[in-house]
Amino acid sequence: MGYTIGQKLIKAHLMEGKMIPGTEIGIKIDQTLTQDATGTMAYLEFEAMGVKRVKTELSVAYIDHNTLQTGFENADDHRFIQSVAKKRGLLFSKPGNGICHQIHLERFGKPGKTLIGSDSHTPTGGGIGMLAIGAGGMDVAVAMGGGTYYTTMPRMTLVRLSGKLSPWVSAKDIILEVLRIMSVKGGVGKIIEYGGEGVKTLSVPERATITNMGAELGATTSVFPSDEITRAFLRAQGRENDWVELRSDDDAVYDEIIDIDLSALTPLAAMPHMPDKVKKVEEIGRIKIDQVCIGSCTNSSLMDMLKVAAILKGKKIAPNVSLTISPGSMQVLNMLSLNSALSDILSAGARLLECACGPCIGMGQSPNSAGVSLRTFNRNFEGRSGTADAGIYLVSPEVAAASALTGVLTDPRTLGEMPAVNMPESFIINDNMILKPASEQESDSVEIIYGPNIKPFPSNTEMPASIEAPAILKVGDNITTDHIMPAGAKILPYRSNIPYLSTFCFRQCDEKFAERCKAAGKGFIIGGSNYGQGSSREHAALVPLYLGIKAVITKSFARIHCANLINSGIIPLTFANPDDYDDIDTDDILKLSDIRSKLENGEKAVLDNITKGHKYELNYDLSARQTKMLLAGGLLNYTREISK
């Protein structure tokens, strides 16, 4: 039996375990990336490990999330990360150079290599045939120190593409169609591989759009073959020597196959407030819009921007619309500025923003009250834009640009013939905003600079024999990490200050959550299905740890958040009978009797509802290593123990 692309990549990097779906494996990591919203904490954790120099083939620290500097906090974090990068052997991408995933695709990603990043959209690298996985900052810190990355061996899903996209239909519509079919939790425990003849019609930027937004499926990662199209892209970046061919074997076996005829797709949109609430644009109708934002790591490539420029050329945006453009990298902006494309965009009335994440992470450009915003982004979770009652629709650049001109949600096929746009044969290569580290000999003289906003990360203690505490909070299905630990310009500057950050935890669900946690001293969280979907931010685990949360009990978890809970020493448990969820109310006193010995011996966990006098069986899906981590009080405690 042959291998899929995902299986080949895992097999080539397998360090521990066997390739049996559902079991834990450990893989060697070739490259890592961090961004500044998660990076400060990741580097504090790396420093705590006492490793003098990163041990990967390549590690890059990007500044792209917290680029608004309205106070000293973000600037101090940037300075801290830059000093760590210089001392510990990482490349440092300066603020303004662009979004981590776009730059990494352009300048550093290599087919056949493994990459983990402290950002959930790290699977963008699958667009050039990498095994690229989003992870918590602590996992990235361990990998930078040469440690193995552990995950569950995924099942393999093939999305088989046939035909060719029609004019005005784009890669964004492909991934929206996959989300419509699979849902935001349909990819959990899977690698999504794209194959079929239709793959040959897609450029690398189009493939990267699809793998990027595959994070919204809950998938471990997504991957495309590395073929002649990949080779041409790397050649255009001056990196043809990085190319290797990578494809699945003819007799590879998949656990699931989904067929999509590209020629049958029409322009799609994800409606508020979830990426899988997908409908045809023509079906939604011509609703009035207030704002259009084009950019993000999903749709900020040169090809995306050239399409937008061609649509806007010689036209004016509607008077009721605010249009913002965020190029994905300085390379993209430079190339736009060297021809008339940037002028065409600006002349139409667009606002040019910095090459950064910007509005996608809630850093500026919040819509007006009850406003409708079309965005080429990857997430439209409620409140993520910074405006609680805004309606956010996820669309392609083609739909976004067409709608900006008309002032209403518009099917771009109504505009007539689509302008022709081609990939350049070569890109401008200028890496002057990427700083190299000091040499190993010089690194001893480099000082790591800590600002006053940088506080120590919370510590945990060994797991007690039993845990008795109230149910501090009960929430429903599809709770995102934005619900748990919001982003945005008011909050992101405090990502390195857990005590202050804790005051915002779960504020969207319960304004007094932090106060009640502190009053109780310890507690449980009760959740529904797909708890913790969305961003990889480990703050969604570290802050509850700081507030005394001992266990989270749900119907099911999203992959990265579950791993982050374990890393922090918070026990992730699921109801053996999902109906038991309905029997628990906020403030019920709950007890996990003999939980330490039960985990040690692999016995069934039981939750006592002391308030109601009921008992509930609980499941846990832990490897032997993860069990030891929880018993020790988290990954850092466990690492210290085994290194003694």
Query: How does pLDDT run across 486-517, given as a tens digit for each residue?
Result: 888 788 888 889 999 999 999 989 999 999 99
pLDDT computed for residue 622 by the predictor: 94
Neighbours of 614 (CB within 10 A): 13
Model pLDDT, residue 643: 59
| Res 282 pLDDT > 60 | yes
| Mean pLDDT computed over 39-60 | 93
| Residue 644 pLDDT exceeds 60 | no
Please give the pLDDT value at position 70: 83
The single residue listed with the structure tokens 């007890």 is: 591
Torsion of CA 111, 115, 118, 124, to 10 degrees: 20
Name the β-bridge partners of 31: 58, 115
Q: Are 522 and 563 in contact (CB under 8 A)?
A: no
Check whether 71 has a pLDDT greater than 90: no
The model carries a pTM of 0.92
| Interval 139-147 mean pLDDT | 94
Q: What is the pLDDT of residues 466-475, one digit of tens each?
A: 999 999 999 9
Mean pLDDT of 553-570: 94
Q: Any idea what the Cα angle at residue 328 is, between residues 327 and 331, rounded to 5°?
A: 85
Give, for 181, the enclosing helix (H) or strand (E): helix 171-182
Structure tokens that stand for 66 in this block: 């917290």
- The mean of the pLDDT values for the chain is 95
Share of the chain above pLDDT 70, in %: 100
| pLDDT at residue 241, rounded to an integer | 98
pLDDT tens-digit readout, 172-206: 999 999 999 999 999 999 999 999 999 999 999 99
Q: Write the pLDDT tens digit of every residue in 326-352.
A: 999 999 999 999 988 999 999 999 999
Backbone angles phi, psi at 189, to 5 degrees: 75, 20
Q: Which of 546, 554, 489, 537 is nearest to 514 (CA)?
A: 546
Q: Which domains does the chain have, with CATH numbers?
A: 5-264 (3.30.499.10), 268-413 (3.30.499.10), 467-642 (3.20.19.10)
Here the tokens at position 463 are 């797991």
Q: Look at residue 467 and give its three-state secondary structure.
A: strand
pLDDT (tens digit, 9 = 90+) per residue, 398-424? 999 999 999 999 999 999 999 989 888
CA distances from 201 to 165, 170, 414, 415 (A): 8, 11, 24, 23
**Strands 114-117 and 131-134, bridge-based pairing:** parallel
Residue 138 has pLDDT above 60, yes or no: yes
- At 458 the pLDDT is 83
pLDDT at 319 over 80: yes
Are the C-beta atoms of 118 and 46 separated by less than 8 Å? no
**Residue-level pLDDT at 493:** 85
Between the two ends of the chain, the Cα-to-Cα distance in Å is 43
Q: Give me the residue label for tokens 């921007």.
A: 305
CB 139 within 8 A of CB 116: yes
- Report the percentage of the chain scoring pLDDT > 90: 87
Q: What is the pLDDT of residue 457?
A: 76
pLDDT at residue 66 in the model: 87
